Amino acid sequence: MMTVIGMYVTAVALIVGAIFVSVGAIGLIKFNDSLTRMHAPTKVGTVGVGALLLASIIHSWTTGEGSIHQTLIMAFLFVTAPISANFIAKVNIHQRSCETPPAPPQDETWATLDAPEEDRELTEPAS
C-alpha cells in the first residue's frame, strides 16, 4: 500500500517539477533584459528541480533503496542558486547594463555602487 501511494506522490512531484522547469525555460527565452531573465531560472527553475529531486527521494525511499545523495544535491541547489543570482545582478549593476536602483533614504553608500569618503582616499591613485 505504501509503495502505491509513494508512486502516486512521485508522479505528482515529477509533473509539478516538469511544469516549473518548463515555465523557467520559457521565461529565460521570453524575457529581454538580463536582470529579468535571471529570475526565471533562479526562482522557478529552483522549485522545479527541487520537485524533481523530491520525486527522486520519494521514489528511492519507497523502493527501499534510500539515499542521502538527492538531499545533498537539493541542499546545494538551494544554497547556490540565490548566491549566483545575487552575483549576476551585481555584475549587471556594475556594468551599468541596467537601470540603477534608487538609493535608499539617508544613506550615501548603497551596496557597492558608492564608497565612503575614507575608502575613496585609499583607492585614488597618487599624483
pLDDT digits (tens, 9 = 90+) for 82-96: 888 888 778 877 777
Instruction: Report pTM.
Output: 0.66
Q: How many residues does the chain have?
A: 127
Q: pLDDT class for 105, splitting at 50, 70, 90?
A: low
Closest CA to 47 of 68, 69, 27: 27
**Cell 550615501 belongs to which residue?**
108
List the grid coordinates of 86.
545575487
Q: How far apart are CA 47 and CA 50, in angstroms?
A: 5
pLDDT digits (tens, 9 = 90+) for 63-86: 888 778 888 988 888 888 888 888
pLDDT for residue 12:
95
